[in-house]
Structure 1
Amino acid sequence: MSREHEQLTHTASLMAGAAVGAAALGLARVPAGVLIGSVLGSALVNRSPLARQGPRAAPRAVRVCGLVLLGGAVATQVHAGTLGELLKIWVPLLAAVVLLLVADVLLAWLLVRRYRVDAVTAVLACAPGGFSAISGVADEMGARMGVVLAVHTVRILAVVLLVLPVLIAMARTL
């Protein structure tokens, strides 16, 4: 099998795994299930005994296309009133950003000092932000993707499975 054919087959299997995982968790109505399911499905395929050369990344072109599609999908949620809405809440927004960045630096410092994680990986693992955006930056910066993705997966699961239900319950009692 030629190298190009093998790469194409590998990429197709990763995308199929992502689609199956996304469909499974999406249909099960797991919060953030499409995103988490696609990551898990692709990871399982990539680490399966069927992956002849062992786990490896999708080609850069596939990763870039994925980020372009994600950016386009996110942009559809931004409208003319978005800036006005942000201006109404600029003080608490700024305070939240500062607090999150301070927490990010402190947690990253802890990962570097105590657990010997490189600084780029530590900062991106602890950084507030969207899972896919942070993973895209981590990939470009050469961070240890496993660490970054594991920390963000735990964070997202904690937010959608623990914090969000508590906040919704509290809001209903108001």
Structure 2
Amino acid sequence: MLFLDEELVGKLIVFLFPIGLILTILPKRKGNCNAKMPTGKFAVFITLLVCFFAGFYDGFFGPGTGSLMIILFHYVVKLTLLEASATSKIFNFASNIGALVDFIIGGHILLLKGIPMILGNILGNYLGSKLAVKQGDTIIRTTLIASLSILFISLVYKYFLHNLFV
């Protein structure tokens, strides 16, 4: 049982999304470009905190978790966009395996739909990662802006405009 109404949380996220979008659009200042990653125990703590926050978001709400992880790894853990994108894949993989196990136990897996989705996802991830490695931060920033914008628009429609068009 959820303690918060999904619609209330969705509306809250709509208002938080522009922050991530602005952080993605604004280029880092020269002084921040070479900022060093946290080290030692602080690095472990800050990374655990980032992953906990993103994991809570993923488990509670879900959409945009990969983008959220890239932004958090980039701005908080001080990874390049390429490193943040690559590192977020580990988190997403672990999160998706956890969800898969839960759905298998609950008997909610539709294999005839799921297998083609898996194949398409693997191909898309392979091609996307090749492009990211080849073109670097520029293509990642552009893709991040596009995906966050699309997600933002869809959430605004779902939580604020849907009833106007029904």
TM-score, reference length from structure 2: 0.39
- Which structure's relative contact order is higher, taking Cα pairs within 8 Å and 6+ residues apart? 2
Decide which structure has the larger Cα Rg and report it. Answer: 1
TM-score, reference length from structure 1: 0.38
